[in-house]
Each structure stands twice: as structure tokens, then as C-alpha cells.
Amino acid sequence: MEEPVYTIDAFIEKITKEDKKYDLDKIVHAYEVANELHKNQFRDSGEPYITHPLAVAFIALSLGMDTDTICAALLHDTVEDTPYTLEELSKDFGADVAMLVDGVTKLGKIPMATKEEQQAENIRKIILATSEDIRVILIKLCDRLHNMRTLKYRKDEKRRATALETMNIYAPLAHRLGIRPIKEELEDRAFQFLDPYAYEEIDKQMLLQKDERVALIDSIKQKITDRLKQDFDPVPYVDGRVKSIYGIYKKVYRDGKDLDQIYDKYAVRIIVNNVTECYAVLGIIHDMFSPIPNRFKDYISTPKSNMYQSLHTTVIGSEGIIFEVQIRTWEMHHTAEYGVAAHWKYKEGITGRTKNDARLEWIRKILEAQKESDDVEEIVRTIKTDLAPEDVFAYTPRGDMISLPLGATVIDFAYAIHTQVGHKMTGAKVEGKMVSIDHQIKTGEIVEIITSKDENHGPSRSWLKICKTNEAKSKIRSWFKKEKREENIFEGRNELRRELKRNLIHIDDEKELYEFLETDIKRHNCETLDDFYAAIGYGGVTLSKLMPRLKQNYQKKYGAQKSPTPEIVPFKSSRKASNGIIVDGIDDCAVKFAKCCTPLPGDDVIGFITKGHGISVHKKDCVNYQTQKDLPELVSRWVSVSWAEERSTTYFSATLDIVAHDRIGLMADIVNTVSMLRIQMHEATGRELKNGNANVIVTVSVAGKEQLESLMLKLRKIDSVISVDRSNKQ
């Protein structure tokens, strides 16, 4: 459908027909300022640029927005695209209009490493502004909707990028705000550019069936209206609709269904005066048509997270046609159509302040999640998951309902109940049966979280890869940030060293390293290198995002100064390494590692010349070496050995001896910890000790002493673990 040509005369005519009172002089003045500032600018379609802010204002007016919002819609691009400043705007139109315009103005002047980072920062700014005034995001949605309506005039690569951003971010935001028409139109228009062939195929099929579909819906509406006349005066309003093209696509292609299998392709909506009438009409519908089992949803008693309320039932008519019936009150209908904007549509004197509005708790959750993660792109991932249109509803044993995004696990459920419930979780039961912690919640399930009484019990790092919601991830990171600082520093330092080495960045001096990283350290709100290490350790800093920039900065700062240069290699270094060991004075001899002490790279080692079996390598603190090194008959057979600086990716077997208080789930926690570090486990055995404790022996393959110590440190943090030591048992 072609976009109409927007003019100020048509806008004034539309606004004068509205029941609400508007400050028309202020709105016209806003138009005149915008028109003057944009007078030499044109859109990709060739139209004067002013047609865009006028269109955004038209959409805002259709949502019933107030005078200041409409003024901000007309002026929303002036600060970003013209010399007009926020100070001038505030002086001309007031602080509220200036704040709204600032909220939707992009951070175009701040340099960012990637387009994704730029996008994430812009969205974060919008969310921050929305937390103060909900009208910011409403203007942005109106702006995006008109841009999508005229997207065909942009270049191909721009079209796809804008469509993808719309599908992933703005459509979910419209859904969470409860504005169904905008959400569905954004999805349809984005889908048209993301998969034009599928869009065209569905559109053609729907057009071929248009006359039949209209006749069918009219027939059903008439039949229901005639029946309701017998019991209601006045007769409830009955309307019909067809599912959106993208909605059909999700059912047909994503769920593998035929077009004829989509139960809610056709829908009839019945609007009544009160809740009692909703359930009365439901009974009549089930009497008139045959309800399909398991296709009834009561969103009146359990509203969706975006405030949506309605009764949904799917029935089959006498002609064998399946259709959905939605029953709601007029107030519910206004909320379903306009969401949070329903307040402006039907009430006077509404402000946009959101600080104490419980219905917008999701905004605060997004902002809270950002406190524990300095990754600006986290905001995009949050919207894709936490604000996804598909929600599930589960219950605690006490009957409290918990709403979570599709795919959420029992970990997410635990943290949704309370932070401490999540921290102390040791397991979960669903419908009375134990489940794994990666169990995905389904609507209607009763979930019981089992918690530890140990005050020091905390979450596992592996949960960060399992849980779905950003709220859970944020709380887990927060716990590790506060409770495990030393461990975080240790982990963060090792991770940074590995990444720097992998990217050929060689800075050994701590002071020099701080100077090299100073910009990033301050950017992530850290003061010292240890703070930065800790932030890496608990997941607040993602090194993969930093390394490309660090590598580039390293080359600029040091150039060839620190690049490896050819050098004369000393004769001693020409010794060939066998199994990663260089033997002083002997070329390329057979080497084996003593089973009595199982040395690892990083250990201080010594070699012993065996009779016919090459060199046996021992740790210098090995009991055998300590008791035999001074024996006259053996002293000449001990030789100096060292680990080669450059070793092939050889892994070494190591055994750990773990003692812990015996409990259910201990072995599972140990296995999960080893797996989390991507360390291969060869064997794990357990037995009960005489004092009631448990003894677990674990054999793993590690690259060296540093990796083994990292594993031991993590194992010691497991609830009820008493000690973790290297074992000589092989």
C-alpha cells in the first residue's frame, strides 16, 4: 500500500477532529521550525524531508499522544541533522520536548569500534531515556514505522540491515509495550525485505482466498451476533480478522505446518462490557461450536507481561472450518490495541514519567542487567531474549505465577522468584519430579526450587551458559563480582594473558600493560589492573570485543619495535625437545614422565638417566628425588632438564584427590566444573570415607600446571568441598 502524501493542512484537519484538547499553536510552531530547518533536505524517495516528521506526528496522533509528544515527533531529527541545538529547542518548546527529542537522538558523534557497538549504544540511550519517560520509545516506534513504510527507496544493504534491526529490536519492544498494530506491521514490513520470496508466496495465497475468506468471516460473525441477541442487550460488538503475514509465516515455515493447519488464521473478536460477560459469552461459543482440546487460554486471570488480557478459544464450525475466538472487555481491547499508549488515547493530563509504574518493570530490569556487564551489545541480546514475543507461564508450589521468555530454564525461574533463591539453588522439581538445571520451563508447569541451607552456597559459572534471561545472568555475575574477587582476578589475568599471546601482543611489564590498557580500563569503570582482571573473570568484560582494537592499537604504538626479529640462536637452544622437555647436554633422547609425581609444564623438574629407558622426568619436590638425589651411586645420573618454550599442543594426564562432605549432586557439580573449563575428563570415581565424608578421584588431561591450578581453584569453591590436591595415583 502506497504511503499518502502528508501535509500540515491535513494534519491540522485531523487534529481538530480529535476529542482531546491540543495546543494547536505550539504544534504548528513546531512544524514551522522543523520545516525551516529541513527545507534543503530530501529523503531517498526524493520527497522533501519534512514529510517524514509529519508522518511520524500523524502516527503519534493516531496513538492519542499529547501535545509535547507531537511537537517532539515533528522536531525529532532537528538536533541530529541540523545546526539546531538542544538548548535552543528547550528555550523554544520547553524542557519536556527537549528531553523527548534528546532521547531519540542518536549518538552519531561518538566514535565506536563497530557498527554493532554503535547500534547497541544508541539503543541503550533510548532505553535509559525511556526509563524516565515512556514517550521516548513511543516516538521512536512511530519513527521506525514510517521508515519501514518507505524502506523500498533505500539501498539494498541498508534495507536488509534496517529490516533485521526492526525484527530483532523494535518489533519486540512494540510487543512488550502492548501496541499490537505497530508490532504486526513492523514484523510484516521487515519480513518483506528479509525473505521476499516467502512473503510474496503467502501474500499471493492470501489474495487468492480473499473473497472466500471475507465471506467466511462475515458468515461466522452473523451467526454469533444472531445468537448473542438472545441473551444480551445491547448486543456485544463482533469483529473478524486474518492473521498477519509474518504470523502465518512463523506457523507455516518455522513450525512446519500447512496453511490449512493454522488454527488461528481466522479470528473473531467479541467485545463486551465487563468480565462476567466475557465468561458468559465463552459458554455460548462453546455451546455453538465444538471447542478444540488444549486450545483455550485465559489471559484475563493471568495477563501477559505486556498487560494484554483476553479469553482465547479455538473452535470448529459446522463447515469444518477452524477459527479462533477472542473475548474481552472494551478496556481490555483498548489496552490490546494501544498498550501503554492507551492512557494518552483515552485520558487527559497523563505524563510520561515511568519511575513508579509497575507495568514497566521490564525497563528497570534491562537497566539493572547493564550494571554487571560492560558489554554495550548486551542490551541488544537482552531485547532479543527477555522481550521476545513468546512467553511461558509457570507456577510456584504456592500458586504464584512467574512469566519468562520462551526457552527459559529452572535457573531463570529461581532468580525470577528472588535473587537469594537463585544463589542457593541446588536443584529443581517440575510436577514433583527432579529435573536437570537446564530443563526448559513450559507453560502451566509447577516448579519447586530446592535450595541449600549453607550461607556460603553460591551459583556456578556454568549457569551463565545455561540460563536464558539477562536478569539471571546479571545476578550471577553480580554474585561472582562481590564474593569471588580473588578467583576473578586469577581467572581474568590468565584469560587476558592467553588472548594477548594469541594475538601476538607482548607486554610483560605490569605498569606498561596498564598504560596500554588504560583507555579500556577506565571505559569499563575500573581503577586498577586487578579491577580489570576481576571484570574479565566475572564476565563483565568480553575480551573478544576488545582484541581487534587492542591489536590495532598495539601496532600503532609499538610498530616493528616489539615485532619478533631474527636472532642468532644459542647452541644450547638447538637441543631438540622431546615431549616438550629439553635435556641439558643430550640431543633428542627418549623422555618419559615419572608416574610417582606426574610432572606438568610449569613444575620445576629434574631428569634421571634410566638403564635402557631414556630420561625419566620428576618434579623437584618428588619424594623419590628428594630421598635419592644425594646417594653417591645415583648422583651422576641426575641431569638438568627444562620445559621447551615452544611446545606442541600436548596434553598431560593429572589426577586430583577431592575430599568433601557427602551430598546428593556432588559428583554432578564436579563434572560440570571440569566441563565448564573445557577440560577432558578420563575417569571419576567416588567412595565414602569412614568419617562420612566423600573421596572423589578425578583424572583429567591438561596443558600444564597453570590450567590444573585453575581447575583446582574452581573445584575448591564447590559447595561442601573440603580439599583438592594433586594425587600421585595413576
Any idea which residues carry the catalytic annotation?
80-81
Q: What is the DSSP letter of 474?
A: H
User: What backbone phi and psi angles, to 5 degrees, belong to 585?
Assistant: 90, -5
What is the Rg, in whole angstroms, of the alpha carbon atoms belonging to the chain? 33
Element (H, E) at 183: helix 180-194
Determine contact, residues 141/171, Cβ cutoff 8 Å: no
282: β partners: none
Spatial CA neighbour of 104 closest among 66, 68, 65, 144? 144
Find all residues with CB under 8 Å of 34, minimum gap 6, and list them. 50, 53, 74, 75, 77, 78
Q: Could you give the count of Cα atoms lying within 13 Å of 167 in the half-sphere of its Cβ?
A: 18
CA 177 to chain centre: 18
Distance CA 282, CA 452 (A): 46
Query: Alpha helix locations (H) across 579-619?
Result: none
Distance CA 383, CA 560 (A): 43
451: β partners: 425
Spatial CA neighbour of 684 closest among 702, 706, 662, 657? 657
Distance CA 376, CA 457 (A): 30
Element (H, E) at 395: strand 391-395
Element (H, E) at 33: helix 24-37
Determine contact, residues 338/114, Cβ cutoff 8 Å: no
Distance CA 399, CA 410 (A): 16
Give first-to-last CA distance, the chain, whole Å.
Answer: 75
Q: Which amino acid is at 293?
A: P
Determine contact, residues 271/309, Cβ cutoff 8 Å: no
CB atoms within 10 A of CB 71: 29
Q: Name all contacts of 492-497 with Cβ < 8 Å and 24+ positions apart.
A: 492/532, 492/533, 492/534, 492/535, 492/536, 492/537, 492/538, 492/541, 493/533, 494/706, 494/710, 495/536, 495/537, 495/543, 496/532, 496/533, 496/536, 496/543
Q: Which amino acid is at 162?
A: T
Burial call 127-165: b when 16+ CB within 10 Å, e when fewer: bbbbbbbbbbbbbbbbbbbbbbebbeebeeeebeebbeb
Spatial CA neighbour of 304 closest among 185, 445, 469, 178? 178
